[in-house]
Amino acid sequence: MSETTHDGGAIAMSAPPSPDDGLSSTELAAKYGLSVSGARPGLAEYIRKLWGRRHFILAFSQAKLTAQYSQAKLGQLWQVATPLLNAFVYFLIFGLILNAGRGMEIKVYIPFLVTGVFVFAFTQTSVMAGVKSISGNLGLVRALHFPRASLPISFALQQLQQLLFSMIVLLAVVVAFGSLPGLSWLLVLPVLALQFVFNTGLALIMARLGSKTPDLAQLMPFIMRTWMYASGVMFSIPLILADKPNVPSWIVDVLQYNPAAIYMDLIRFALIDDYGSSNLPQHVWAAGLAWSLLVGIAGFVYFWKAEERYGRG
């Protein structure tokens, strides 16, 4: 502290120079360990923070699953009843009227159809939930600071839990039509793991797109319905196109190698005794792994790049 004498005998006290004088705002932030509120962390740090919220992700997905049918009298039974009713309607239209199961015995076609409906619904509901995961939870996003990827991942996990519950009914249908349990049933586990990673990546992509374009939620049902018809849910792609020589072979390849068709066919191959490897495209496991890693990683990075923009404006 220094003293300065002015006219009239008054003494003014002046403060000593601050050690922060001359430092820029960036240097001050670095000196005191400050960071911009809501700034996007590095990818490795983001993954670490996301792992730290794993208990929240699991609890949130379980709460959403429980609340999903809380207002319905049948409650959680709708998790199974909905895809079963869809399979029944598709069987009436495609199986009986349009004969989409030609080339397959009825004991193969019904498990084939039910498996397709259940497995495709896993991807469909994950995508639809992902679209609204940010835009439909803005109150939570704006009130709390947490990795925003927690939400679409949690919704994808919710759909996985719902599928696992429904698998009990699927296995019962498969057994009822003559396919007994065997070691091949264990293949279902890696297939579902690959599909879950794929679905999560897709949900992350749709979450970012849906956060800025809410109308996307109205468009997605039409896109998903088109994808379903192109994926062989109700029919075998190679069998249905076998009597159509005018269809180019590359179209058959595109349809068979689309990820939804790959995961459905792998689970059909695992569960249905008379659905052999001849129904699968070549290198099907490599294709399933490639789709899982490509969409899973790309979706996560794509979502992370807009982390600081979610819930703003």
Phi-psi label, residue 145: left if phi above 0, alpha if psi -120 to 50, beta otherwise: beta
pLDDT, mean of each 10-residue run, the chain (313 residues)? 53 60 60 58 94 94 81 69 82 80 87 93 95 91 90 95 88 92 95 98 96 89 94 88 80 92 96 91 96 98 94 69
Per-residue pLDDT at 108: 92
Per-residue pLDDT at 10: 53
Decide if 270 contacts 188 (C-beta within 8 A).
Answer: yes
Q: Which of the 8 DSSP states describes residue 20?
A: T
Decide if 263 contacts 269 (C-beta within 8 A).
Answer: no
Place of tokens 């983001």: 46
pTM for the full predicted model: 0.85
Per-residue pLDDT at 252: 85
Q: Which of the 8 DSSP states describes residue 98?
A: S
Per-residue pLDDT at 70: 67
User: Which regions of 63-142 does DSSP assign to beta strands (E)?
Assistant: none
Per-residue pLDDT at 86: 82
Per-residue pLDDT at 38: 57
* Of the candidates 177, 198, 59, 181, the residue with the CA atom closest to the CA atom of residue 123: 198
